[in-house]
Amino acid sequence: MSLQQLNAFLAKVSSDVALQNLLSQRDAFGAVALAAELGFELTVGDLIRCKSRATSWQLSDEELAVVAQWQPQDQPYWWQLIWHCR
């Protein structure tokens, strides 16, 4: 993710009430389409990653356990690979 692209997009939207209204009515796919129309390269993944980082501290342990169940079985967890990053 380009944090610069995301920040630039949000700065552009924050300075234009019409864009704020458009963005507030869109889902993740619509938000990415709006960003593209404005010349910003963002993906749905970029938006979801940003949201999850911003809100994950609000989830209870039980809710985080449910999220862990959603991970595909063939996708490794970060702690399974951390030793290979050295």
What's the confidence (pLDDT) of residue 86? 52
64 pLDDT higher than 60: yes
57 pLDDT higher than 90: no
**Full domain range(s) for residue 29:** 3-85
In tens, the pLDDT along 4-54 reads 888 899 999 999 999 999 999 998 899 999 999 999 999 988 888 777 776
Domain count for the chain, please give it: 1
What's the confidence (pLDDT) of residue 3? 76
Residue count of the chain, please give it: 86
Quick one: three-class SS letters along the chain?
Answer: CCHHHHHHHHHHHHCCHHHHHHHHCCCHHHHHHHHHHCCCCCCHHHHHHHHHHHHHHHCCHHHHHHHHHHCCCCCCCHHHHHHHHC
What's the confidence (pLDDT) of residue 29? 92
**CA-based Rg of the chain, rounded to a whole angstrom?**
16
What's the confidence (pLDDT) of residue 60? 81
